[in-house]
């Protein structure tokens, strides 16, 4: 069994949940938590080593790199919203 931290999001009340699962693989972890958090969208399942790696990478980023990533995310989201409006 592997240990996973599973992130899910509930659109109804705008809450993010973090739940633990011990399953053979990440798909099983996602399904396990989806069965518990029925009204939530299950987003991500990470193992402890993956969390440590992400935290290490975050710690190495400069404030400027974080700002650039946020600007890129904003640009991507703006483009996505514009495409949704065109399709409607």
pLDDT, tens digit (0-9, with 9 covering 90-100), for 39-52: 899 899 999 999 99
42 within 8 A of 33, measured Cβ to Cβ: yes
Please check whether the domain covering 1-46 is classified as CATH 3.10.20. Answer: yes
Could you tell me what percent of the chain has a pLDDT over 70? 100
Per-residue pLDDT at 84 exceeds 90: no
pLDDT level of residue 87 (50, 70, 90 thresholds): confident
Residues 33, 39, 40: CA angle, nearest 5 degrees: 55
User: 25 by DSSP, 3-state: which?
Assistant: coil
Render pLDDT for 26-38 as a digit per residue (tens, 0 to 9). 999 999 999 999 9
More confident residue, 61 or 85: 61
Whether residue 23 contacts residue 32, with contact meaning beta carbons closer than 8 Å, is answered with yes
Edge-first strand order for the sheet with 15-23 is: 15-23, 2-10, 41-46
The percent of residues above 90 in pLDDT, for the chain, comes to 86
């Amino acid at each position: 069994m592997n240990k996973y931290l599973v992130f899910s999001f509930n659109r109804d009340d705008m809450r993010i949940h973090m739940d633990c699962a011990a399953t053979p693989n990440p798909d099983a972890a996602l399904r396990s938590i989806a069965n518990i958090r029925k009204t939530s969208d299950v987003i991500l399942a990470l193992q402890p080593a993956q969390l440590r790696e992400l935290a290490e990478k975050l710690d190495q980023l400069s404030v400027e790199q974080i700002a650039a990533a946020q600007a890129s995310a904003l640009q991507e989201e703006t483009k996505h919203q514009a495409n949704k409006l065109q399709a409607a």
